[in-house]
Amino acid sequence: MKNDIANRFKFYKQTSNLQYKEIADKFENITLQQIKDMANGNKNITPELALQLEEKLGINPIWLIFGRGEMIEAKIDLGVNANIEKENFNAKEYLEKQNEFLIQLQKDNEELHKRLK
């Protein structure tokens, strides 16, 4: 699994056309050598680190760790205000979809914790 994660991280680097230094420069607490070690499988990509990579690079942590979903996922707007202005806004339908998303997110999180134990 560790090598799978490293290979996916390396794949992200290749498809994003970023150099390791460009990736490292986005982080205050991760060195260039640590970025290279992640790509080579010499440094574990923890769930916390996967979340940092999502925040700074947009990498989907579920894809990075489990290989499921898209490498880069569009951010879902959980704010209601922006959607209320839409002409055909259906609050009940919107909230049901948000609830389904949160339930799936919770399931993915639980699966991640199980695999890490």
Same domain, 39 and 80: no
Q: Indicate the average pLDDT of the chain.
A: 84
Same domain, 101 and 58: no
Q: What is the pTM of this model?
A: 0.62
What does the DSSP assignment read for 22-91? HHHTT-SS--HHHHHHHHHTSS---HHHHHHHHHHH-B-HHHHHH--S-SB-PPP---SHHHHTSTT--H
Same domain, 66 and 105: no
Same domain, 112 and 69: no
Range of the domain at 116: 76-117
How many domains is the chain built from?
2
Same domain, 102 and 50: no
- pLDDT at residue 98, rounded to an integer: 76
Percent with pLDDT over 90 in the chain: 55
Same domain, 68 and 86: no
